[in-house]
Amino acid sequence: MRVHAKRAGALLGASLVSSQAMADWTLNMAPGVTGTSNEIYGLHMTILWICVAIGIVVFGVMFWSIFAHRKSKGSKPAHFHENTVVEILWTIIPFVILVLMCIPATATLMDMYDSEESDIDIKVTGYQWKWKYDYINEEFGYFSNTTTPQDEIYNRVEKNEHYLREVDNPMVVPVDKKIRFLVTANDVIHSWWVPAFGVKKDAIPGFINETWTRIDEPGIYRGQCTELCGRLHGFMPVVVKAVPQDEYDAWVAEQVASAERERELTSKDWTLAELMERGEGVYNTNCAACHQANGEGMPPTFPALKGSRIAIEDMNAHLDVVVNGVSGSPMQAFGEQLSEADLAAVITYERNAWGNDTGEMVTPKEVFDYKNKE
Amino acid sequence: MSAVIDTHAQDHHHGPAKGFTRWLYTTNHKDIGSMYLIFSFAMFLLGGTMAMVIRAELFQPGLQIVEPEFFNQMTTMHGLIMVFGAVMPAFVGLANWMIPMMIGAPDMALPRMNNWSFWLLPAAFLILISTLFMPGGAPNFGWTFYAPLSTTYGPPSTTFFIFAVHIMGVSSIMGAINVIATILNLRAPGMTLMKMPLFVWTWLITAFLLIAVMPVLAGVVTMMLMDINFGTSFFNAAGGGDPVLFQHVFWFFGHPEVYIMILPAFGAVSEIIPAFSRKPLFGYASMVYAVGAIALLSFVVWAHHMFTVGIPLAGELFFMYATMLIAVPTGVKVFNWVATMFRGALSFEAPMLFAVAFVILFTIGGFSGLMLAVAPADFQYHDTYFVVAHFHYVLVPGAIFGIFASAYYWLPKWTGHMYDETLAQTHFWLSFVGMNLAFFPMHFLGLAGMPRRIPDYALQFADFNMVSSIGAFMFGATQLLFLFIVVKCVRGGEKAAAKPWEGAEGLEWTLPSPAPYHTFATPPEIK
Ligand SMILES: [Cu+2]
């Protein structure tokens, strides 16, 4: 199998019902940009052709019978109903074909399982409904959220080219390096899949699964969660940006520096206006999916924050809900997921947006103290 | 056993009771068979309606008709209703009607239990369907109900779902016990095991599979029940439990379950193809051994549903080899059917059309199954539409075409009338085209990277989804035609001869059409 073979007969009689600019009639798996994905593509094509060959023989005999041995054409039925030689043959031959098929499949599988001696380790954690990427050796990490606007999902505006396959912070990795992924989950089972890498691994709470990749070409590769994980399972994209090594190094340096700045934000003195500005962004990425951008929620499932007692009265209760979540409800504990600055900003935002004009603010330091007091 | 036979011999001269109590109290295998078939068809329409909702939402990218939470309830309920409400009861219905008539028995061996196992089903499905109206909605975690999505994160109705599954399980086990007791004890003198019709053989083996795995299903849902309501942590990692354990237990049930849904269809098709080829079945003995081999192997392949969960390399290899091995006996069956047709005198009435389509399309489903068995490739196929295409190919033109073929084949015997052949052929062709239009493009979608169980998709998947939806609507609407054909046939039509099919073999065709309320009160002689 030629591994870089182009997509087989990708285009069928052009725009039969198509109106979508991006839509296409792809028929086959694409080879991908890693050794593993190319090997898988080779196996896929081999087994596909084996099936086609067997199909031609079996269906050939069958259609011959259907056309030639019709009663309406005066066919007289034969009476044979056994033939030991034939029966043994058609047991042995498929068996041998399958054994032959198992040999390359076993080799590929052993290769896929060999995640030793990696250059870079990234922990991938599935959350409902976003991914977190922790660069273990460089000690920074971040969430990767979908950025597809609700307006596109609900057909109020034209959908963009990367509809449902776009994120705020993609995973960034260098090309030609062995990257090991340590895959786990925080709540339910998810599955992290990038088709172009031939990498799919279930993210299971309480387990750390290993897998790896080595990317041949720089580019942006897209996939999504493939294990049903609740309401927004379909809205949990994976985007990986593969860049040359020097670009990667520069990116890492910047991430490390910004992680440091992030930590400094906790001790900085904040004004209400600054917190509000930051809070709006945090709210829209993390909270609006349930509580809605206008703060009105979707009662009864997702309460309104606009005018909510918790959001305009007791500050401690507000901190508690956001930091610790409400167990047994979809309201997660954001204390682990957001920085102190973001927590302070989003809480301050909720207390002052949409007419909740309490004028109150909470500083990142107060959030830090609250978290450590517990 | 003999006590039961005697009682029935005595009320031989009675016809059926009148009114509703006839159906409520009946212990007659034909009545119970009809009730199973009617029930399963009702469930088929209900589960099909849910499929229509799914396909309507997927007609175009974006969310148009339903919200994601309801979409998830639809995929879950569609799967559960089709598997447990439509396919399995339909085969039990066929077993009830046909097994006693095929082996020369007066009725099922345990008639009262037969009544009980049927009436449990409407109760179970009433509970299951009522969850749609409960706060938080119906189960929304897929028909495979993986923990912890179905336990810690499940809707409140999950407990009712568990109760419903328990009742279905009890019903299936009782049905299976009855089939085994009937086949092993009530065969007419002279009917040795290796003279039994293949439909009887496949059902005997299916019944053993049922008894082996339904308790496992009951076990896994009971563990869920404990996790949800009694504070255990079987599947909760935070409490020291193991979410992967759920999948092992579930698929230990789930894999034999897929054979439970296909083996009786194998049997029926093995009756129908020889009848319309006017030639004996090729390789009877090898057919029996192949079914036995498939059933045994089905216990050691469950983790091929779990290639991406991170089982150790040795485990992956074992399950890959074992799964590939299943292709051998399955292939033997297909070769035998083709060899039966070869040099026969074929005619293509509706049962034969469905049976031939069964062989072709089931084989296509088998091919994609073989592809999925190649573990490294499965990392790309797993949980995509390729899998959806695969199992719909083995279940729709597999199990369901098998049921349609059986229905048309035996309708003259059941009703005493011939069905309308033109309408039946229309039903076939519309189903055939609709079904392929609906499910074939799903292969392409999966290979292009579309995951299953999503209410909305990226733009590159738009075209084939639209085609698939059109095919699904066509297939769905066509099934109303089947309802019409059956009702028409029950109410009248050309009188059916005792043996309306020239090439048909078997004891059921020695009885008059329609088969009298009580048959074989005195067992027939088998040479
Ligand atoms: Cu997910």
Residues of A in contact with B444 (CB under 8 A): 25-28
Q: Does domain B32-510 have CATH number 1.10.1060.10?
A: no
Q: Would you call A235 an interface residue with chain B, using a CB distance cutoff of 8 Å?
A: yes
Tell me the pLDDT of chain B averaged across its residues.
94
- Phi, then psi, of A31 in degrees rounded to 5: -65, -35
- Mean pLDDT confidence for A235-263: 93
Interface of B with A in 80-139 (CB under 8 A): none
Angstrom distance (rounded) from CA B230 to CA B237: 16
Residue with tokens 């054409």: A73
**In this predicted structure, what is the pLDDT of residue A81?**
86
**Domain residue limits, chain A:** 35-69+82-112, 120-263, 268-373
What's the CA gap between B362 and B262, in Å, rounded? Answer: 10
What is the C-alpha separation between A60 and A231, in angstroms, rounded?
A: 47
The pLDDT assigned to A1 comes to 36
Which pLDDT does position A358 carry in this prediction?
85
Q: What is the mean pLDDT of residues B465-476?
A: 97
What is the pLDDT at residue A12? 34
Q: Flag whether pLDDT at B9 surpasses 50.
A: no
Two structure tokens written together for A299: 């009662």
Whole-angstrom distance, CA of residue B494 vs CA of residue B423: 14
pLDDT > 80? residue A215: yes
Q: Nearest-CA neighbor of A203 among B146, B165, B90, B20?
A: B146
Residues with Cβ within 8 Å of B526's Cβ and at least 6 positions away in sequence, in order, are B104, B188, B189, B190, B191, B195, B507
CA distance A350 to chain B (A): 26
Q: Identify the bridge partners of residue A184 per DSSP, sorted by sequence position.
A: A125
Contacts of A160 (CB under 8 A, 6+ apart): A148, A152, A166
Record: fold of A120-263: Immunoglobulin-like (2.60.40)
Tokens representing B264 are: 């009786």
Q: Which residue of B has its CA nearest to A108?
A: B376
Residue B107 annotated among the catalytic residues of the structure: yes
- pLDDT higher than 60, residue A2: no
Q: What's the pLDDT at A374? A: 63
Q: What is the pLDDT of residue A211?
A: 96
Element (H or E) spanning B30, and its range?
helix B29-57
**What pLDDT does A311 receive?**
87
Distance, CA of B34 to CA of B170 (rounded, Å): 20
- Tell me which residue of B510, B269, B275, B282 sits closest to B406, measured CA to CA: B269
pLDDT at B107: 95
A9 compared with B499, residue with greater pLDDT = B499
Report how far residue B435's alpha carbon sits from residue B472's, in angstroms, rounded to the nearest whole number. 7
Helices (H), chain A: 35-68, 84-112, 150-153, 245-267, 272-286, 288-291, 309-312, 315-324, 340-352, 364-373
Query: Is pLDDT of B459 > 70?
Result: yes
Residues contacting residue A148 through CB under 8 Å, at least 6 positions apart: A160, A163, A164, A166, A235, A237
Q: B321: which residues sit within 8 A by CB, 6+ positions away?
A: A102
Classify A287 as helix, strand or coil.
Answer: coil
Q: Give pLDDT, residue B13.
A: 52
How many CB atoms lie under 10 A from the CB of residue B359?
Answer: 22
Using the CB atoms, write b or e for A176-208: b if 16+ within 10 Å: eebbbbbbbbbbbbbbbbbbbbbbbbbbbbbbe
| 3-state SS, one letter per residue, for B178-220 | HHHHHHHHCCCCCCCHHHCCHHHHHHHHHHHHHHHHHHHHHHH
Amino acid at B334: V
CB-CB: which of A24, A90, A202 is closest to B309? A202
Cis amide prior to A129 (ω within 30 degrees): yes
Q: Are B354 and A89 in contact (CB under 8 A)?
A: no
- pLDDT for A265 equals 82
- The answer to whether the Cβ–Cβ distance between A77 and B371 falls below 8 Å is no
Contacts of A84 in chain B (CB under 8 A): none
Q: What is the DSSP letter of B132?
A: G
Given the residues B30, B166, B255, B413, the one annotated as active site: B255
- For the cut 50, the answer to whether the pLDDT of residue B5 exceeds it is no
Q: How confident is the model at residue B379 (pLDDT cuts 50, 70, 90)?
A: very high
Residues 6+ apart with CB under 8 A from B20: none
Residue with tokens 């517990």: A374
Q: How far apart are CA A230 and CA A228, in angstroms?
A: 6
User: How remote is the C-alpha of B17 from its chain's centroid?
Assistant: 31
B449 in contact with A, Cβ within 8 Å: yes
Contact between B427 and B482 under an 8 Å Cβ cutoff? The reply is: yes
What's the whole-model pTM score?
0.88
Average pLDDT over residues B280-296: 95
Q: Could you tell me which of A34, A70, A182, A76 has the C-alpha nearest to residue A121?
A: A182
Helix then strand count (H, E) for chain A reads: 10, 10
Please give the pLDDT value at position A315: 87
- Is A169's pLDDT higher than 50? yes
Query: pLDDT per residue over B40-77, tens digit each?
Result: 999 999 999 999 999 999 999 999 999 999 999 999 99
- Residues B175-234 pLDDT 10s: 999 999 999 999 999 999 999 999 999 999 999 999 999 999 999 999 999 999 998 999
Q: Give the span between the Cα atoms of A27 and A48, in whole angstroms.
A: 13
CA dist B213 and B41 (Å) reads 25
In angstroms, what is the span from residue A143 Cα to ligand 1's centroid?
A: 14
For residue A234, the chain B residue with the least C-alpha distance is B454
- Identify the pLDDT of residue B114: 96
End-to-end CA distance of chain A: 61
Residue B523 phi/psi, 5-degree rounding, is -65, 145
CATH of A268-373, one of 1.10.10.10, 1.10.760.10, 3.20.10.10, 3.30.70.20: 1.10.760.10
Label residue B507 by pLDDT band (50, 70, 90). very high
**pLDDT beyond 60 at B360:** yes
Min Cα–Cα distance to chain A from B207, Å: 26
The residue among A88, A204, A210, A240 with the most chain B CBs within 10 A of its CB, best to mutate, is A204
Rounded to a whole number of angstroms, the distance between the first and last alpha carbons of chain B is: 24
Query: Tell me, what's the pLDDT at A4?
Result: 38
**Alpha carbons B376 and B390: distance in angstroms, whole number:** 17
Mutate to test the interface with B, among A16, A62, A70, A84 (most CBs of B within 10 A): A62
Dihedral of alpha carbons A12, A15, A18, A23, sign? positive
Catalytic position from the list B26, B157, B158, B171: B171
Q: How far is A180 from chain B (nearest CA, A)?
A: 14
Task: Say what the pLDDT of residue B427 is.
Answer: 97
B143 is catalytic: yes
Residues 6+ away with beta carbon under 8 Å from B408 = B349, B350, B351, B354, B419, B424
Residue B305 appears among annotated catalytic residues? yes
CA distances A364 to A265, A313, A321, B186, B381, Å, are 8, 19, 16, 80, 46
Which residues of chain B does A72 touch, with a Cβ-Cβ cutoff of 8 Å?
347
CB contacts under 8 A, B 296-325 vs A, are 308-310, 313, 316-317, 320-321, 324-325
What is residue A15's predicted lDDT score, i.e. its pLDDT?
34
> What's CA B261's distance to the chain center, in Å?
4
Catalytic residue among B57, B257, B271, B349: B257
Flag whether pLDDT at A8 surpasses 50.
no
pLDDT at site B460? 93
Q: Which of A41, A54, A52 is nearest to A1 (CA)?
A: A41
Any B CB within 8 A of A79 CB: yes
What would the mean pLDDT of A269-296 be, rounded to a whole number? 89
Among the partner residues B62, B141, B316, nearest to A109 by beta-carbon distance: B316
Of B146, B283, B364, the CB nearest to A82: B283
Q: Are A179 and A122 in contact (CB under 8 A)?
A: yes
Tell me which chain A residues have a C-beta less than 8 angstroms from the C-beta of B149. Answer: 188-189, 228-230
Q: Strand order in A179-185's β-sheet?
A: A140-144, A130-135, A120-127, A179-185, A209-213
CA of A192 from ligand 1 middle (Å) equals: 8
DSSP state of B327: H
pLDDT, averaged across chain A: 88
Catalytic residue among B30, B55, B166, B305: B305
Q: Is pLDDT at B295 greater than 60 in this prediction?
A: yes
Tell me how far apart the alpha carbons of residues B260 and B89 are, in angstroms, rounded to a whole number: 11
Token pair belonging to A154: 């609900």
Task: Report the C-alpha gap between A301 and A267 in whole angstroms.
Answer: 36
Long-range contacts of A296-303 (CB under 8 A, 24+ apart): A296/A354, A301/A330, A302/A330
Asked if residue B413 has pLDDT above 60, the reply is: yes
| A233 CA → ligand 1 middle, Å | 5
A298 phi and psi angles, rounded to 5 deg: -135, 70
Interface of B with A in 328-367 (CB under 8 A): 328, 331-332, 334-335, 338-347, 356, 359-360, 363-364, 367
Helix, strand, coil share (%) of chain A residues, nearest 5: 40, 20, 40
Provide the residue type at A255 as one letter. Q
- Look at A4 and A152; give whichever has higher pLDDT: A152
Residue A113 has pLDDT above 60, yes or no: yes
Rounded to 5 degrees, φ, ψ at A34 are -135, 160
Verify whether the Cβ–Cβ distance A207 to B244 is below 8 Å: yes
* pLDDT tens-place string over residues A15-41: 333 334 444 788 899 899 999 999 999
- Per-residue pLDDT, B14: 62
- Worst-scoring range by mean pLDDT, A233-237, A327-331, B255-259? A327-331
The torsion angle over the Cα atoms of residues B330, B335, B338 and B344, rounded to 10 degrees, is -130
Chain B neighbours among A 136-195 (CB < 8 Å)?
152-155, 159, 161-165, 187-189, 191, 193, 195
Instruction: Give the span between the Cα atoms of A358 and B360, in whole angstroms.
Output: 70
Instruction: Establish, for the pair of chains A and B, how many residue pairs have beta carbons separated by less than 8 Å.
Output: 295
| pLDDT, tens digit (0-9, with 9 covering 90-100), for A293-334 | 899 988 777 889 988 888 888 888 899 999 988 876 678 889
Give the nearest partner residue to A113 out of B278, B313, B325, using CB atoms. B313
Element (H, E) at A211: strand A209-213
| Cα gap B266→B331, rounded to integer Å | 12
